[in-house]
Amino acid sequence: MKGALNIQTIKLELIQWLSTIEDINVLEKIIDLKKQENSDWWDGITAKEKESIEYGLKDAEEKKLKSHYNARNLYDKWL
């Protein structure tokens, strides 16, 4: 219950602070942050990143994965 009370306190403090803001630039940044929170991360990545993820998912479906142990041994000198 203590954590929930702390969250409610923080929310109230933010609401009070928000009601005092007069700078339109700050308000627009807050609106942008809200939009980002509601957007799908998939829409924010490049076509190349999407292609890479899809390639990895295909490999996983086809059981073409290497173990963490093998990857660690292969890349150990850079880690």
**Which pLDDT score is estimated for 78?**
82
Q: Could you give the CA distance from residue 51 to residue 69 in angstroms, rounded to a whole number?
A: 26
Residue with the larger pLDDT of the pair 37 and 1: 37
1 three-state secondary structure: coil
Give residue 39's pLDDT.
76
pTM of the full predicted structure? 0.44
Within its chain, how far is the Cα of 31 from the centroid?
A: 17
Give per-residue burial for 20-43: e unless 16+ CB within 10 Å, then b.
eeeeeeeeeeeeeeeeeeeeeeee
Q: pLDDT by residue (tens digit) across 14-60?
A: 999 999 999 999 999 999 888 877 778 888 889 999 999 999 999 99
The predicted structure's pLDDT at residue 57:
92
